[in-house]
Amino acid sequence: MQQQIDADQVRKVAKLGRLELTDAEVEAFTEQLGAILAYVEKMNELDTTDVEPLAHCLPISNVFRDDVVGPSLGTDNALANAPQRDGSFFKVPKILDDSSGA
């Protein structure tokens, strides 16, 4: 069976996940993740020709709530666990490239 994931891909995924890995860890995770992917690969042996794609594991849809205001936490509660606060704000390291917004 071909290798499922290489060290560069592990480094890339780690970077995207903001994880700092040592070379030894990269090697270990490459092997472990490879084994997991190979295991999941077994699924490809199934014939899914007539099986509808599934977006969710529960056979339900349209679970809504009404547009009614509920309680919010309030500023002090919201900030209670923050590592740092500045007045009513969360305080974070200076953001240089602001590409914020949805």
Instruction: Count the residues of the shown chain that bind other proteins, applying the rule CB under 8 A.
Output: 43
User: Does residue 91 touch other proteins according to CB under 8 A?
Assistant: yes
Shortest distance, CB of residue 51 to other proteins, whole angstroms?
Answer: 16
Nearest-angstrom CA–CA distance, 9 and 39: 18
User: Does residue 48 touch other proteins according to CB under 8 A?
Assistant: no
Give the three-class secondary structure for 86.
strand
Find how far residue 21's CA is from the centre of its chain: 17
Nearest-angstrom CA–CA distance, 76 and 87: 10
Which residues sit at the interface with other proteins, rule CB under 8 A? 12, 15-16, 18, 55-58, 60-75, 78-79, 84, 86-95, 97-102
